[in-house]
C-alpha cells in the first residue's frame, strides 16, 4: 500500500480536531506490528490525547467514527497443549 493511505488515516484525526491541533505539539513513537496497525495506533493515540485536551472532541469523534476513541481488543489466540498448528485445531480421530 502506498504511504499516502497511512498518512491520510493519521490526518483524519487531525482534520476533525480543527484548531485544537494548533494548540498542542504532537510526537508519537510506535513499535511492532505492521504499517497499517501502526498507523491506526497513532491515529488512536492522537485522538485520545486530543479528546482529553478538549472535551468537545470526544463526542465529535464518537459521532464520526467510534474507532477513534475505542481500541480494538482482539488478540491472537494462544496455542493449546497437544494441538497441531493452530490454536483450535484438534487431532483427527479414527473410528475404524
For residue range 7-17, what is the model confidence (pLDDT) as tens digits?
Answer: 888 888 888 88
Residues 6+ apart with CB under 8 A from 84: 91
**Residue from 21, 73, 22 nearest 47 by CA:** 21
For residue range 43-94, what is the model confidence (pLDDT) as tens digits?
Answer: 999 998 988 888 888 888 888 888 888 888 888 888 888 777 888 888 888 8
Q: How far apart are CA 6 and CA 43, in angstroms?
A: 10
**Residue from 55, 52, 63, 61 nearest 13 by CA:** 61
Amino acid at each position: 500500500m502506498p504511504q499516502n493511505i497511512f498518512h491520510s488515516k493519521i490526518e483524519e484525526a487531525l482534520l476533525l480536531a480543527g484548531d485544537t491541533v494548533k494548540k498542542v505539539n504532537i510526537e508519537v513513537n510506535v513499535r511492532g506490528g505492521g504499517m497499517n496497525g501502526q498507523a491506526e495506533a497513532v491515529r488512536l493515540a492522537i485522538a485520545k490525547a486530543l479528546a482529553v485536551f478538549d472535551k468537545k472532541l470526544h463526542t465529535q469523534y464518537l459521532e464520526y467514527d467510534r474507532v477513534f476513541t475505542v481500541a480494538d481488543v482482539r488478540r491472537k489466540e494462544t496455542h493449546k497443549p497437544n494441538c497441531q498448528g493452530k490454536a483450535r485445531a484438534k487431532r483427527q480421530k479414527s473410528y475404524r
